[in-house]
Structure formats: structure tokens, C-alpha cells
Amino acid sequence: MELYCFGIIITIALQLIQLQLQLVCFRSKCRIYLIFLFRRRVLRVVLLGLSGSGKSCLLQSWKNDPQLPTYPTIGFNVVTMQRKNATIQFWDVGGDKRLRGLWRFYVTGADSIIFVIDSTVRDYNQIQETKFELHTILTNNDLKSTPIIVLFNKNDQVNKMNEEELEEEYKLKAVFQKRKGKTIMVSANFLNGVEDVMKCITKGK
């Protein structure tokens, strides 16, 4: 009888230990899940465009920080913004002709690429120059899975081209049928399109 009772006690003790281990495992899994669910992602977004396209002005207006420089970027400038569950690092890369050869190093491993175009430019040579640099990025096989957002800036100006004209001028409709990308009309002065840009970045579209 004593041996029988002892056996029952041992069995119950083992079951309790097993239950305790299961609870520990469950708590651990819950903790990992919650960390994953609420962790803050860090997204690296590279901002490209020719000098004068307004990249730095856009960043200043998005960040609402008058201390950010708006003169032409020499090298690169990193601006960090917090958006819900994501930390976005904008790498504003200089658009001077001498610096464009370095763009390929900055875009490697980026979560998204933003290419800013001045929508008021109608000069043929400048448009061709912008188109060449843009399509060099768009057709880079190493970036085929990287979302590229083309921003037509200064859309508050009266002499701007409309979105349809710009997409046709820069030959973008056919390109974005084959790869991840989007065009958005924006303005640094009135924050037009900023929410669309942020949604594209955080959703990876």
C-alpha cells in the first residue's frame, strides 16, 4: 500500500514538473511573440535625385526640423524619423554629377529607394540626364526586388507638369508593370503626398 501511494505521489510530481516546464515554454514563446509583434523595425531608405530636385527640402518638411540643411548635399546626410512600429533612416545622397557614381554603393541593401524629380523642369537636356540616372537604378538587376518610389516634387508650382505627362516623359508606366514601384506627386511646401510616401515605405510597396 505504501509503495502504491509512493508511486502515485511520484507520478503526480512528475506530471507537475512536466506541466511547469510546459508553462515555462509557453511563457517563453509568448514573450518572443510579443517582442516580434511590437518590435520597432529599422528601415533604411535611400533618397536619390539630381541637385536641385528638392530632396533635402522634402526631408526638412517631413521632419519639421528647420535646423536640417537644405543646401546641396555633399556626400550624404542621414535623417531618422519614427513612424508607428518603424524607425525610418533616410539617407539623403548628394546628386552632384561627381557623386552619382557612388549611388550604387548606397542603394545596396536598402529597404526602399526614393528618386526625387523636379516636376517643373522642362529643359530637354536636364530631363534626359534625369531619365538616364533614374533608369540606371530601375534596371539594376541587384535592385529588382527593392521598391522604388519616384517623387515628382514641387507640384504646388504653376509651371509643373502633371503626373501623366511626367510618367510619359520619364517612361515609367511600362517599367512599373514589371517591378515594385510607384509615382507620387509631392510638395515640400504643403506636405502633399507625404502620407502616401510613408505608407509605401512601411509596407514595402
159 among annotated binding-site residues: no
153 among annotated binding-site residues: yes
193 among annotated binding-site residues: no
- The helix (run of H) or strand (run of E) holding residue 149 is strand 148-153
173 among annotated binding-site residues: no
C-alpha to C-alpha distance for 67 and 76, rounded to whole angstroms: 16
Question: Would you say the C-alpha torsion 10, 12, 15, 20 has a positive or negative sign?
Answer: negative
171 among annotated binding-site residues: no
108 among annotated binding-site residues: no
DSSP strand pairing (76-83 vs 86-93):
antiparallel
C-alpha to C-alpha distance for 130 and 64, rounded to whole angstroms: 28
140 among annotated binding-site residues: no
C-alpha to C-alpha distance for 63 and 57, rounded to whole angstroms: 10
Could you tell me where the DSSP H helices lie in 64-180? 103-107, 124-138, 163-169
94 among annotated binding-site residues: no
Grid coordinates representing 162 are 502633371
Which of helix, strand or coil describes residue 193?
Answer: coil
139 among annotated binding-site residues: no
Annotated binding site for Mg(2+): 56, 73
Binding residue positions:
49-56, 73, 95, 153-156
Q: Residues within the annotated binding site for GTP? A: 49-56, 95, 153-156
